[in-house]
Amino acid sequence: AGVLRLILGDQLSMDIASLHNCNKSEDRVLLAEVKEEATYVKHHKKKIVLLFSAMRHFASSLKDSGYQVIYRHYDDDDNQGSLLAEVKKACTEHQFDKVVVTHPGEYRLLKSMQQWQHQLGVPVEIADDDRFIATITQFKEWVEGRKQWRMEYFYREMRKFTGLLMEGDKPVGGKWNYDQDNRKSLPADVSPPKPYTVAPDDITQAVIGLVESNFADHMGDAKDFNYAVTRAQALDVLAQFINERLPDFGDYQDAMREGNVWLFHSHLSFYLNCGLLLPMEVMRAAEQAYFDGDAPLNAVEGFIRQILGWREYVRGFYWHCMPQLQHDNYFNHQRKLPVFYWTGHTNMNCMRQCIGDTKRHAYAHHIQRLMVIGNFSLLAGLSVEEVNAWYLLVYADAYEWVEMPNVSGMILYADGGNLASKPYVASGQYINRMSDYCKNCGYAVSKKTGPKACPFNYLYWDFLIKHRQQLGNNPRMGLIYKSLDRMSQETVDAMQQQANELLLTIDNA
Ligand code: FAD
Ligand code: DLZ
Ligand code: SF4
């Protein structure tokens, strides 16, 4: 009798759906560290430390609250290696009436769970994940009958639905979006505050050792891990963000600086995505800072838009577009990932810095992911499948529901423009405007062709030329194609030739 309640590594919330109506004396809660989840892509070492340590801490809070927990450690002698096998084992050890799990964040796991009932001979209930603000059905209903699925309009619906930053049915301040104020570069004399860190406790230290010995060939280093792993610590990260960074979040949202990956971003995605923080509490805290006069509207609206708009939108988009999304490849791009995506060794300083930050921290901020690494991935025609696998394993906040729409939709335009109204491509000029990377680069950002020319420049034009048929009719690309048409044939030929040469020996770029 009783219910087996499975909690996944990214479901570490006390009021997760699978715990609703739990009978603490009869039911069991299962958490399992398993090889299948830890290696279906070779996750960054810090990502595995984060999840295993957070899972262990969460299990102990559950016990403190009176739940009966079955916890499977990765190095238990009889660890079964997969979630299904662990559930099966638990079901042979106890007689459960049913198994309850919350809707997982990845399609592969959902499809697998939908078969579990047959494999286990016990009913399996998959509860909606109500940590999200919009349900999957709500997004589908919004999409239906719409030609274009622009995030901005979905976001406005979500503002009305939640009442966040609303005065009756009007947006606070009179405008829905203050993005124009949020594109400043970072002046040299502005120093962002130090990021939150916490010394690893005994549990985290044990996990670091485990990860070092079992996942030695995964990216990164586990030893200097110092992220939050409990809800109390994650709440400290939130408080520190609201007090120290939120006021400047808007202004410098798109800026990049060599040697500082953290800037004025919140660094909350790690905790939002594994369940230690809930999106609504995070947004309410930001909204309160505006009402208290502690942060300006452009910062608070911009921050709330990332969560209420983008985060909710990509989640709905993922479930609406799967499984097709994982096969989409609009430009039929197939090039293998260059070696420097793993080593960080490249002459392009912007890529060196952004990949280096990623390797060190299992983190890079949005514009690094989008306008440097993402931009290069599209301009160089890299394989959609390989780029997706890379983004899913390198970032500690990556799960397919959020990674794939950002990669296939936002950076690679592989869905042919359902998510983005035009490809997010830019030449080196953009990177130079928003960062200090070009100062320390062997390439010259001012040059379009010639031995020192910045690869982003000629790859950009080469990309536009190659894909004119697919992009030329896009009204948002009109001006760019007009400037292409004003270039001399000689320049165009030289850029194309140089692009071909670089792409042939891309590992040396
Ligand atoms: P902040 O800049 O402080 O933003 C606040 C919050 O808004 C984030 O914590 C996040 O929850 C949300 N958010 C912002 N932008 C997005 C977005 N585009 N999609 C969804 N949520 C968003 N985010 C992930 O959480 N996981 C991923 O695997 C992931 N992969 C990405 C891949 C690419 C190619 C790109 C361009 C973006 C990706 N993002 C991903 C979105 C964004 O880059 C990260 O959410 C953000 O950098 C996390 O850092 P932060 O918490 O400091 O964010
Ligand atoms: C990412 C991850 C890792 C590395 N390890 C585990 C694990 O051992 N056990 C577990 O329950 N979950 C893990 N996860 C998170 C899952 O992969 C995640 O729940 C699915 O990808 C769905 O989002
Ligand atoms: Fe990147 Fe080009 Fe600037 Fe070098 S010059 S840092 S390659 S944008």
21-53 pLDDT per residue, tens: 999 999 999 999 999 999 999 999 999 999 999
> pTM value?
0.98
- Measured in Å, residue 62 CA sits from the centre of ligand 1 at 29
**Residue 211 Cβ < 6 Å to ligand 2:** no
At the topology level, CATH places domain 340-508 in DNA Cyclobutane Dipyrimidine Photolyase, subunit A; domain 3 (1.10.579)
Q: Residue 145: what pLDDT?
A: 83
**Residue 398 Cβ < 6 Å to ligand 1:** yes
- Residue 349 φ/ψ, nearest 5 degrees: -60, -40
Q: Region 361-389: what's the mean pLDDT?
A: 98
**SS3 at position 271:** helix
Q: Residue 337: what pLDDT?
A: 98
**Residue 265 Cβ < 6 Å to ligand 1:** yes
Cβ within 8 Å of residue 479, ≥6 positions away: none
DSSP class per residue in 328-366: --TT---BPPPTHHHH---S-HHHHHHHHHHHHHS---H
- Measured in Å, residue 46 CA sits from the centre of ligand 2 at 14
Q: 311: pLDDT confidence band, cut at 50, 70 and 90?
A: very high
The residue whose CA has the least distance to atom 3 of ligand 3 is 438
Closest ligand 2 atom to residue 33 Cα is: 8
Closest ligand 1 atom to residue 272 Cα is: 11
More confident residue, 181 or 291: 291
- β-strand partners of 166: 171
List where CATH 3.40.50.620 sits in the chain.
3-127
Closest ligand 1 atom to residue 269 Cα is: 9
Query: Which of 144-148, 291-295, 400-404 shows the lowest mean pLDDT across its residues?
Result: 144-148
Q: 1: pLDDT confidence band, cut at 50, 70 and 90?
A: confident
**SS3 at position 345:** coil
> Taking 90 as the threshold, does the pLDDT of residue 393 lie above it?
yes
At the topology level, CATH places domain 136-197+213-321 in 1.25.40
- Measured in Å, residue 484 CA sits from the centre of ligand 3 at 21
Please say whether the dihedral angle defined by the alpha carbons of residues 125, 102, 81 and 32, taken in this order, is positive or negative: negative
**Residue 32 Cβ < 6 Å to ligand 2:** yes
**Residue 313 Cβ < 6 Å to ligand 3:** no
Kindly list the strands in the beta sheet with 98-102, ordered across the sheet, starting from the edge strand earlier in the chain.
69-72, 28-32, 3-6, 98-102, 124-127
The residue whose CA has the least distance to atom 8 of ligand 3 is 428
- Measured in Å, residue 310 CA sits from the centre of ligand 3 at 28
Integer Cα distance of 299 and 253 in angstroms: 9
Let me know: does 332 contact 285? Beta carbons within 8 Å: no
> Taking 90 as the threshold, does the pLDDT of residue 179 lie above it?
no
Q: Region 228-254: what's the mean pLDDT?
A: 97
Q: Tell me the per-residue pLDDT of 112-134, one tens digit each, with 9 for 90 and over.
A: 999 999 999 999 999 999 999 99
Integer Cα distance of 368 and 358 in angstroms: 9
The residue whose CA has the least distance to atom 38 of ligand 1 is 406
Q: Tell me the per-residue pLDDT of 483-503, one tens digit each, with 9 for 90 and over.
A: 999 999 999 999 999 999 999
Selection from 94, 119, 118 nearest residue 4 by Cα: 94
Cα-trace Rg, the chain: 24
List where CATH 1.25.40.80 sits in the chain.
136-197+213-321
At the topology level, CATH places domain 3-127 in Rossmann fold (3.40.50)
> Taking 80 as the threshold, does the pLDDT of residue 347 lie above it?
yes
List where CATH 1.10.579.10 sits in the chain.
340-508
> Taking 90 as the threshold, does the pLDDT of residue 437 lie above it?
yes
Integer Cα distance of 448 and 185 in angstroms: 23
> Taking 80 as the threshold, does the pLDDT of residue 181 lie above it?
no
Q: Residue 180: what pLDDT?
A: 82
Most informative mutation of 242, 387, 397 for ligand 1 (most atoms within 8 A of CB): 397
Cβ within 8 Å of residue 1, ≥6 positions away: 26, 95, 96, 97
> Taking 80 as the threshold, does the pLDDT of residue 274 lie above it?
yes
Q: 182: pLDDT confidence band, cut at 50, 70 and 90?
A: confident
- Measured in Å, residue 83 CA sits from the centre of ligand 2 at 9
